[in-house]
Amino acid sequence: MTKPFHYHQKEKCLQAISSITNSFKYSSLFFGILITNPILAEELPTKVTSQEPVYKPFKEPPTEPLTDSTFQSWVDDTQLSISDSIQEYGASFDHFVGKNEDEAPMSNRSYLRIRLKNRYTHREDFDPDASVYLKLDLPHTKKNWKLIFETDPDDFDRLEDKERSISSNSANGLNSPIGGVRLQGRKLGEWKTNIDLGVKLKWPLDPFARADLRRVDQISFNWTSRFKQEIFYYHSKGPGSLSSLDLYYSRRDDPSTILKLSSNLQYLDTDNNWEYVQQAEIIDRVNDYNLVQYSIGISADSRPSYSITNSWVSVGWKHRLYKQWLYLTITPELDFQDKFNYKINPGIMVELELFFSSDGGIDRLKRTIPTP
């Protein structure tokens, strides 16, 4: 049976997405979402019910020249197809779990994020990294539950890697995907809380629990503070905690530029070590397509003896490549690490982020000061 041209486009779409997801651990979940897309299923050829085989000569469909408009349409259709699949699965699960018969449908903010990150420094090896994050929104549940899936959780990464959003080579990292549920946005007086419960998806299953509390206070007309306390526990690794205090400054007549001063303290029971990071950042949204982030910081460890482990200077440029779902970040950096006797260590990090959401994407250039 001759297949229409748009069917071959869909097949190429699936092959492209498959090549990306094969680089991730446990990508079968993500690939399963694509191949079970009801939109694609409707276009599959119908099954022949006759017992006798039917033979027809194969004829290649007419080819069309690949133009910019054709490629753009293919990219848009691919993103829309995946986004619709994520939204449909989120809505279906939400209706099954929490929707009553007399309730009206609600907006579903489920989304998928794919992050490809490559970092190179002069004195270290090339460090590629990739991660997938999936959140299924359940708006009909009474307590705002959400389903989460992460291929690269950072709970036991070094504090400096967390704060700088760089790839982690820590031997204490989880190195396995996790799945669970999140109770989001509950209030305890002036505090907001998030609670996660789930398992690390590696046999034997490793249960975990995470919780964070945060509060925001308006110090003055231009200054705002935010305190955040995180506590997490994994059965195989034990407990850990992270305390953060952030101070924000922005002129009311120019909110596009923000000064952020942060102090962070982390303790991991696995290595009985306290880590400290102090960082100052200037975040400047230049326009609707570009954001520049300047950073200077210092990190220290308590073991084997208290010492400065690194200091750094970096400049990150984030660019919206296409609409609000494809972003590129390039970050040149200079490090002065103790393991290299504090000699200068230049490097660069390149990151590509893809967002799939029925809302059309996520504005990754948006930087706002939290409100009380």
Quick one: pLDDT band at residue 69, thresholds 50, 70, 90?
A: confident
**Over residues 289-308, mean pLDDT:** 94
pLDDT tens-digit map of 70-90: 878 888 888 888 888 888 888
- Which pLDDT belongs to residue 93? 77
Residue among 197, 257, 191 at smallest CA distance from 222: 257
Residue among 135, 143, 142, 140 at smallest CA distance from 109: 135
Asked if the structure places residue 104 within a domain, the reply is no
Same domain, 195 and 71: no
Strands (E) located in 138-289 = 145-150, 178-188, 191-200, 206-218, 223-234, 238-251, 254-268, 273-285
**Over residues 268-297, mean pLDDT:** 94
Same domain, 141 and 80: no
Q: Domain of 276: which CATH number? A: 2.40.160.40
- Measured CA to CA, the distance from residue 269 to residue 226 in angstroms comes to 26
Asked if the structure places residue 93 within a domain, the reply is no
Query: Please, what's the b/e burial string for 218-235 (b: 16 or more CB within 10 A of its CB; e: otherwise)?
Result: eeeeeebbbebbbebbbe
- Which pLDDT belongs to residue 102? 65
In this predicted structure, the answer to whether residue 174 has a pLDDT above a threshold of 50 is yes
Same domain, 80 and 136: no
Quick one: pLDDT band at residue 67, thresholds 50, 70, 90?
A: low
- Which pLDDT belongs to residue 11? 52
Same domain, 82 and 124: no
- Measured CA to CA, the distance from residue 286 to residue 39 in angstroms comes to 39
Same domain, 123 and 227: yes
Cβ 229 vs Cβ 241: under 8 Å: yes
- Which pLDDT belongs to residue 247? 97
Torsion (CA) 17, 20, 23, 25 in degrees, nearest 10:
-50
Give the domain range for residue 321: 109-357
pLDDT tens-digit map of 2-46: 444 444 444 544 454 444 444 434 344 333 433 334 333 333 333
Quick one: pLDDT band at residue 171, thresholds 50, 70, 90?
A: low
Asked if the structure places residue 96 within a domain, the reply is no
> Total domain count for the chain?
2
- Give bridge partners of residue 274 from the DSSP assignment: 267
Same domain, 183 and 260: yes
Considering the entire predicted model, what is its pTM? 0.74
Q: CA dist 32 to 14, 17, 82, 93, 115, Å?
A: 11, 11, 11, 16, 19
**Over residues 227-234, mean pLDDT:** 96
